[in-house]
Amino acid sequence: QQQVKQSPQSLIVQKGGISIINCAYENTAFDYFPWYQQFPGKGPALLIAIRPDVSEKKEGRFTISFNKSAKQFSLHIMDSQPGDSATYFCAASSRVAGSARQLTFGSGTQLTVLP
Amino acid sequence: DTAVSQTPKYLVTQMGNDKSIKCEQNLGHDTMYWYKQDSKKFLKIMFSYNNKELIINETVPNRFSPKSPDKAHLNLHINSLELGDSAVYFCASSQRTGDRAFFGQGTRLTVV
């Protein structure tokens, strides 16, 4: 059972365009929603994250939009650059075993930005 | 200084062998994880340790055994390797109550 559904699986955009990746979750116990960026041969690295008490968070060219009632969130990359080409994972975090937390990842989106 | 380091980066071995992957973090975190990334890049948690105590143990064959000698190290030992074990294995760490996980560079395991 996939608790965090991510789409699209792959995305190609032109340089300067907007990249949009969508995620949906089912478990209402999730209370933290990060996005990770992974380059080939590297481990995932945190890009930006949001908590469900806000509807939007922006850091530079990256924005998360969050819709708590629909249980959906999305990543927008403005003015996409070739250097943004990577795999993007949405994730959701919940509390497990006392105060410990667990991340559940979406299936990933391979973003290619054409020069 | 590498925050989360794994060794080896590449591991090629024959079916039936036993192998270990080592992980060390110098971030002072008290929680460490092992994730498996399959050929479709899907990331799935395998284990989580907090202060050397196992707190998450997902449905993983018991051929996989994590070992944490101290809170800065979490090693993964795999017995009787199978072709389906081929994947990239990532070690990660975080504070117990923190949400941000820091990942190592991964170990690409190929079983032939």
* B99 vs A67 pLDDT, higher one: A67
Which positions 65-104 of B are in contact with A (Cβ < 8 Å)? Answer: 90, 92, 94, 96-104
Residue B50 confidence (pLDDT): 83
A65-91 residue pLDDT tens: 999 999 999 999 999 999 999 999 999
With a cut of 90, say whether residue A1 has pLDDT above it: no
d(CA B104, CA B94): 12
pLDDT-wise least confident of A40-54, B25-39, B54-68: B54-68
The single-letter DSSP state of residue A110 is: E
**3-state DSSP call for residue A71?**
coil
Give B62's contacts (C-beta < 8 A, 6+ positions apart): none
Put simply, whether A44 touches B (Cβ < 8 Å) is yes
- DSSP run (H or E) holding A112: strand A109-114
The one-letter code for the residue type at B87 is A
Total CB pairs under 8 A between chain A and B: 64
Cβ of B92 within 8 Å of Cβ of A108? The answer is no
Per-residue pLDDT reduced to its tens digit, A4-31: 999 999 999 999 999 999 999 999 999 9
d(CA A86, CA B9): 20
- A-chain residues within 8 Å CB-CB of B105? 41-43
CB A32 within 8 A of CB B99: yes
In sequence order, what are the residues at sequence separation of 6 or more whose Cβ sits closer than 8 angstroms to the Cβ of residue B107?
B6, B7, B8, B9, B10, B11, B21, B88, B89, B90
The reported pLDDT for the residue numbered A94 is: 87
Sign (positive or negative) of CA dihedral B83, B89, B67, B97 = negative
For tokens 């971030």, the residue is: B27
| pLDDT tens profile A97-114 | 666 778 899 999 999 999
Sheet strands (E) in B4-63: 4-7, 10-13, 19-25, 31-37, 43-50, 53-57
Q: What is the CA radius of gyration of chain A?
A: 14
For residue A6, what is the nearest residue in chain B, using CA coordinates?
B42
Question: Where residue B56 falls among pLDDT bands split at 50, 70, 90?
Answer: confident
Residue A102 to residues A28, A34, A69, B13, B101, Cα–Cα distance (Å): 14, 12, 22, 31, 10
In sequence order, the β-bridge partners of residue B81 are none
